[in-house]
């Protein structure tokens, strides 16, 4: 741990402890390597920079605009910021719905509140995107663990939490995955490198100064987590079977060549000055409508066309 | 008519007539013939193999040699009803014949074929004698026809844009409008077009026209360039621009203002074929790549491992989706008046389930999932093609428009308290001689033979009750009976929630809770079909034996239960391994992974 660290970053940081990491150093290293930011798909869809939503009643405007303009957006907060809402809202039970049992059964109050806060963030973010009330959002899970909004497939969601941070991603282009880590997270460099890196990544890492390797490994880790979560595989897709460049860029095969076409958007951003958040978002190529609101989802002409003659109103008001 | 003056497609006269060789036999026989014509997809020299098809996809071209092959077989005759000189009888048979094509190349299945049926089905449903004869002749003579949809709500690029028409002073109509992403718009000589003929949002806002470019002035018709799509690249998406185009009165199909009704009627067929043809066929191939990948790993085909369990699960889902899809197809053949709601549920469920399973397969394939070589390249092509085939969210919203009102029907049926009549077992016997679909009997009104009960949900209740009597057969049957009971309880819970929802004060837009219930309802129908096909399976053949045994249904219903958020136990020991062995057995014997288990080339 360094003491008396100046806030600006020196190019030639000298340190005795090459395993020591600090947040500023990690983020500065990634910045120097042009590893932070967002990569758009060829069609121009991208994950917009994450938006801080400190309370449920904060403005959701930027989240909605990002979704419309860029195709995907991320909302984040700390669970402690949302704690007052969890503790004081009279609607907690209808808001949590199917998750209420798990909330009640959890003994540790901190764990319980953190869980509730993350569910609320998902529901509020999705509700903002779709123009409905948070109580109407039903979070369900695919067999691989990927969350989705039951009955509402105009958007896909991704979620992650670490430490105090919780983040929710919403995309109208296709599947989305998120991962976050503390920027000063400690880990065994060699173990990570062997367990996670493709041959091409390992070679690129080896060419770097030692004090930048940890930062790059952390970024690669969050990107690979985000990507496999977008695929709905969690940990099941071996990380050594796909890779990234050390600078901002797209997916690569293990030998370093470009792996897929231009239909995946990736992003890595620092958040709250101390976390790293990565997002992976697939563009399924359908060029979907900007309008994601639930209110316009059903074609009223079809509904009226199906009403048998003799009825006054379309038999749909359910 | 002088080609310079009309908007006829270039080279229209040059294609071979589609009357084709006399291929006798039912759907299964003709399907086998097509499969053998296409040959081994992985044989290096095969002009209709993966090497050639992937190369064509890279060039964004339809594979010419294979299109020509299908033309010589007379694929178009499969879309023309028998009374009009074609081979079309039932749509289950049609889906069987199309599966070899869809297993080979999803885009080819649409571009060389199925899109033509989407268009022609409107003429079969509501065209007059001349329109029916002309359309039949056009298809049999090798011409192309495609469909111009109206603009959907929440439209994606493929469903955006529409045409409008006003009456012309001397009779007929004048049509304007533009669509940019339409299959075969660059090559078609006829378009079935949904055209807005009245302002506003009423159900009579659109009419359908049969636009024959050979009869339209060239100056009013502009074919727009090829549109680049990410998936189905070889499907020749292009556009059509009409500017003050005079259209004769005889081009109107059906009555003015009948467009919405016609779309409700004919989409039932499109949805059933997309599900039972493209999606099931495509997933069959995807699963095959995954099985091959496991077979080539250093440890050989590991049946008991985690990856074997994944493949067994996907196999179970595929069979269950096929059970639902075939039930939908057979319903169209046997009782088309009652197919409106079921066909929407089929599309919803099959799309959602198989897309999820494609992800699972991608993990098994790992790095091979990005491979573009002929051995595995077809997989990444499927990953791109299948979402486009399913039309994404706009396709879902279209089915939800049909399914959300059905929840009220369920609520009413429950309040009346009568017992429900099960859908007939004839729906759940794939490949058994069915009816011939009479397009004119398709209905836009949701209707059940017994006034508002739900025959497919009732079939779930019935199958579950009968399973109770089979517990003595063994542990696996007892486990299946337990699952049946859990699903029966879920049916009742769903219906209760429909009652609750129907009791709320009425509003202009449906409650979002309705969409959640629709999602759950469709999963229940998949479970119903799965149990019913299992119950009705004849154990005589090797593939029939697999269906008559409980393993696939056990695994499928466990997965459906988890997807519904129910607490379901793990299947008994060995179920996944045994089903994986069944999968490997089909692979080694060169059989398809769907309900039919047909021999592959």
Q: Which residues 199-228 of chain A have a CB within 8 Å of chain B?
A: 228
Task: Please state which of the ranges B19-23, B240-244, B356-360, B472-476 shows the lowest mean pLDDT.
Answer: B19-23
| ipTM score assigned to the predicted complex | 0.81
Do B140 and B161 belong to one domain? no
Token duo for residue B35: 């499969």
Confidence of residue A141 (pLDDT cuts 50, 70, 90): confident
Q: What CATH number should be reported for the domain holding residue B199?
A: 2.40.110.10
Asked if the C-beta of B394 comes within 8 angstroms of chain A's C-beta atoms, the answer is yes
Asked if the C-beta of A289 comes within 8 angstroms of chain B's C-beta atoms, the answer is yes
In a domain, B4, yes or no: no
In a domain, B87, yes or no: yes
In a domain, B547, yes or no: yes
What are the pLDDT digits (tens) for A1-45? 344 333 344 444 444 444 445 888 899 999 999 999 999 988 888
pLDDT at B451: 55
Between residues A112 and A309, which one has the greater pLDDT?
A112
Q: How far apart are CA A80 and CA A61, in angstroms?
A: 22
Asked if the C-beta of B67 comes within 8 angstroms of chain A's C-beta atoms, the answer is no
The mean per-residue pLDDT over the stretch B484-496 comes to 96
- Is residue A280 within 8 A of residue B417, CB to CB? The reply is no
In a domain, B398, yes or no: yes
> What percentage of chain B reaches a pLDDT higher than 70?
92
Do B126 and B195 belong to one domain? no
Confidence of residue B384 (pLDDT cuts 50, 70, 90): confident
Confidence of residue B11 (pLDDT cuts 50, 70, 90): low
pLDDT at B13: 47
Nearest CA in chain A to B202: A301
State the Rg of chain B over Cα. Answer: 24
Confidence of residue B391 (pLDDT cuts 50, 70, 90): low
Q: Which of B94, B111, B144 is the last residue of a domain?
A: B144
pLDDT at A20: 43
Confidence of residue A170 (pLDDT cuts 50, 70, 90): very high
Q: Which of B256, B286, B315 is the last residue of a domain?
A: B256
| B565/A98 Cβ within 8 A | yes
pLDDT at A14: 46
Do B359 and B465 belong to one domain? yes
Q: Where are the domains of chain A?
A: 23-289
List the CATH code of the domain at A23-289. 3.90.470.20
Confidence of residue B539 (pLDDT cuts 50, 70, 90): confident
Do B237 and B276 belong to one domain? no
- Which residues on adjacent β-strands are paired with residue A159? A168
Do B306 and B428 belong to one domain? yes
pLDDT at A146: 75
pLDDT at A5: 37
Asked if the C-beta of B156 comes within 8 angstroms of chain A's C-beta atoms, the answer is yes
Confidence of residue B425 (pLDDT cuts 50, 70, 90): very high
What pTM was estimated for this model as a whole?
0.88
Q: Which of B82, B113, B144 is the last residue of a domain?
A: B144
- If one counts the domains in chain B, the total is 3
| Cβ-based neighbour number of residue B11 at 10 Å | 8
pLDDT at A128: 92
pLDDT at A16: 40
Do B387 and B281 belong to one domain? yes
Q: Which residues of B touch A291 (CB under 8 A)?
A: 154
| A314/B565 Cβ within 8 A | no
Do B100 and B212 belong to one domain? no
Domain residue limits at B30: 12-144
pLDDT at A172: 92
Between residues A242 and B15, which one has the greater pLDDT?
A242
Between residues B166 and B540, which one has the greater pLDDT?
B166
3-state secondary structure B54-65: HHHHHCCCCCHH
In a domain, B326, yes or no: yes
pLDDT at A149: 93
Between residues B241 and B393, which one has the greater pLDDT?
B241
CA distances from residue B198 to A305, B119, B167, B220, B477 in whole angstroms, order as listed: 15, 22, 10, 22, 58
Q: What CATH number should be reported for the domain holding residue B35?
A: 1.10.540.10
Q: Which of A151, A261, A305 sits opposite B518 (nearest CB)?
A: A151
pLDDT at A17: 44
Asked if the C-beta of A255 comes within 8 angstroms of chain B's C-beta atoms, the answer is no
Confidence of residue B54 (pLDDT cuts 50, 70, 90): very high
Residue B390 has pLDDT above 80, yes or no: no
Do B266 and B226 belong to one domain? no
| B396/A316 Cβ within 8 A | no
In a domain, B1, yes or no: no
Do B115 and B172 belong to one domain? no
3-state class of B164 per DSSP?
Answer: strand
> What percentage of chain A reaches a pLDDT higher than 70?
84
What are the pLDDT digits (tens) for B296-315? 765 556 555 888 899 999 99
Asked if the C-beta of B519 comes within 8 angstroms of chain A's C-beta atoms, the answer is yes
CA distances from residue B292 to A79, A105, B287, B438, B598 in whole angstroms, order as listed: 46, 45, 9, 42, 18
pLDDT at A292: 76
To the nearest whole angstrom, how far is the Cα of A93 from the nearest Cα of chain B?
16
To the nearest whole angstrom, how far is the Cα of B596 from the nearest Cα of chain A?
27
Q: Contacts from B374-380 at CB under 8 Å and sequence distance 24+?
A: B374/B42, B374/B44, B374/B49, B374/B50, B374/B51, B374/B54, B375/B42, B375/B50, B375/B292, B376/B289, B376/B292, B376/B293, B377/B50, B377/B54, B378/B41, B378/B50, B378/B53, B378/B54, B378/B285, B378/B289, B379/B285, B379/B286, B379/B289, B380/A260
Do B113 and B180 belong to one domain? no
Q: How far apart are CA B123 and CA B129, in angstroms?
A: 9
- Is residue B139 within 8 A of residue B77, CB to CB? The reply is yes
In a domain, B478, yes or no: yes
In a domain, B597, yes or no: no
Write down the mean pLDDT value for chain B.
Answer: 90
Do B169 and B105 belong to one domain? no
Confidence of residue B74 (pLDDT cuts 50, 70, 90): very high
pLDDT at A24: 87
Do B318 and B338 belong to one domain? yes
């Amino acid at each position: 741990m360094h003491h008396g660290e100046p806030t600006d970053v020196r190019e030639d940081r000298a340190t005795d402890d090459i395993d020591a990491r600090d947040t500023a150093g990690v983020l500065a290293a990634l910045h120097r390597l042009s590893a932070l930011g967002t990569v758009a798909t060829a069609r121009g869809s991208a994950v917009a920079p994450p938006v801080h939503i400190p309370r449920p009643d904060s403005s959701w405007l930027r989240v909605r605009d990002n979704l419309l303009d860029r195709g995907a957006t991320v909302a984040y907060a700390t669970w402690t910021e949302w704690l007052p809402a969890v503790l004081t809202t009279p609607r907690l039970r209808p808001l949590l719905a199917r998750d209420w049992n798990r909330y009640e059964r959890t003994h540790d109050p901190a764990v319980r509140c953190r869980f509730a806060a993350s569910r609320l963030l998902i529901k509020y973010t999705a509700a903002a995107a779709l123009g409905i009330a948070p109580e109407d959002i039903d979070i369900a899970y695919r067999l691989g663990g990927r969350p989705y909004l039951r009955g509402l497939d105009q958007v896909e969601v991704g979620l992650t939490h670490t430490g105090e941070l919780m983040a929710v991603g919403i995309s109208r282009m296709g599947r989305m995955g998120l991962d976050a880590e503390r920027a000063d997270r400690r880990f065994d460099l060699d173990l990570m490198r062997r367990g996670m890196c493709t041959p091409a990544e390992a070679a690129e890492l080896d060419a770097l100064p030692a004090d930048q390797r940890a930062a790059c490994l952390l970024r690669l880790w969050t990107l690979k987590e985000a990507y496999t979560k977008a695929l709905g595989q969690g940990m099941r897709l071996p990380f050594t079977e796909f890779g990234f460049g050390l600078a901002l860029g797209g997916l690569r095969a293990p030998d370093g060549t470009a792996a897929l076409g231009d239909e995946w958007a990736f992003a890595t951003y620092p958040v709250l000055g101390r976390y790293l958040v990565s997002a992976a978002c697939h563009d399924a190529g359908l060029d979907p409508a900007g309008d994601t609101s639930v209110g316009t989802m059903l074609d009223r002409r079809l509904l009226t066309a199906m009403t048998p003659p003799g009825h006054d109103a379309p038999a749909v008001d359910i | 008519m002088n080609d310079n003056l009309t908007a006829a497609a270039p080279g229209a006269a040059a294609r071979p007539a589609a009357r084709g060789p006399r291929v006798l036999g039912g759907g299964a026989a003709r399907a086998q013939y097509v499969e053998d014509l296409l040959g081994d997809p992985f044989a290096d020299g095969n002009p209709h193999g993966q090497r050639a098809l992937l190369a064509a996809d890279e060039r964004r071209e339809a594979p010419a040699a294979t299109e020509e092959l299908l033309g010589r077989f007379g694929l178009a005759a499969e879309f023309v009803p028998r009374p009009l000189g074609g081979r079309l009888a039932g749509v289950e048979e049609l889906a069987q014949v199309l599966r070899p094509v869809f297993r080979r190349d999803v885009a080819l299945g649409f571009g060389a074929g199925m899109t033509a049926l989407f268009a022609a089905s409107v003429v079969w449903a509501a065209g007059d004698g001349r329109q029916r004869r002309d359309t039949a002749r056009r298809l049999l003579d090798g011409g192309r026809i495609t469909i111009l949809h109206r603009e959907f709500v929440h439209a994606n690029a493929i469903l955006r844009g529409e045409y409008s028409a006003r009456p012309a002073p001397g009779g007929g109509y004048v049509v304007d409008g533009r669509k940019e992403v339409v299959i075969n718009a660059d090559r078609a000589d006829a378009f079935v077009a949904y055209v807005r003929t009245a302002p506003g949002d009423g159900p009579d806002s659109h009419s359908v026209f049969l636009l024959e470019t050979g009869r339209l002035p060239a100056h009013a018709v502009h074919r727009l360039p090829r549109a680049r799509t990410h998936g189905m690249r070889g499907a020749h998406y292009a556009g059509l621009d009409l500017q003050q185009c005079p259209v004769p009165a005889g081009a109107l199909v059906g009555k003015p203002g009948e467009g919405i009704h016609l779309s409700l009627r004919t989409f039932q067929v499109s949805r059933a074929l997309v599900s039972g043809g493209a999606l099931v066929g495509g997933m069959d191939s995807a699963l095959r790549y995954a099985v091959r990948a496991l077979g080539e790993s250093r440890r050989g085909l590991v049946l008991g491992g985690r990856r074997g369990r994944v493949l067994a699960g996907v196999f179970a889902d595929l069979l269950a989706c096929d059970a639902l899809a075939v039930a939908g197809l057979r319903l169209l053949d046997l009782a088309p008046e009652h197919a409106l709601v079921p066909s929407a549920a089929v599309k919803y469920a099959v799309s959602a389930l198989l897309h999820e399973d494609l992800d699972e397969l991608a993990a098994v394939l790992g790095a091979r999932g990005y491979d573009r070589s002929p051995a595995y390249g077809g997989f990444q092509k499927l990953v791109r093609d299948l979402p486009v085939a399913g039309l994404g969210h706009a396709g879902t919203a279209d089915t939800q428009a049909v399914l959300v009102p059905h929840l009220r029907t369920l609520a009413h049926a429950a309040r009346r308290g009568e017992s429900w009549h099960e859908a007939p077992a004839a729906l759940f016997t794939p490949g058994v001689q069915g009816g011939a679909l009479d397009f004119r009997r398709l209905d836009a009104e949701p209707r059940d033979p017994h006034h508002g009960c739900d025959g497919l949900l009732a079939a779930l209740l019935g199958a579950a009750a009968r399973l109770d009597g089979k517990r003595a057969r063994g542990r696996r049957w007892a486990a299946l009976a337990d699952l049946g009971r859990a699903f029966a309880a879920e049916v009742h819970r769903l219906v209760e929630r429909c009652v609750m929802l129907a009791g709320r004060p009425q509003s202009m837009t449906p409650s979002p809770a309705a969409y959640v219930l629709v999602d759950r309802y469709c999963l229940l129908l998949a479970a119903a079909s799965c149990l019913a096909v299992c119950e009705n399976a004849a154990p005589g053949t090797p593939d029939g034996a697999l269906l008559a045994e409980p393993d696939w249904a056990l695994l499928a219903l466990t997965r459906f239960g988890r997807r519904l958020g129910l607490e379901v136990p793990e299947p008994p020991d060995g179920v996944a391994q045994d089903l994986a062995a069944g999968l490997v057995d089909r692979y080694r014997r060169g059989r398809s992974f769907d309900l039919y288990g047909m021999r592959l080339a």
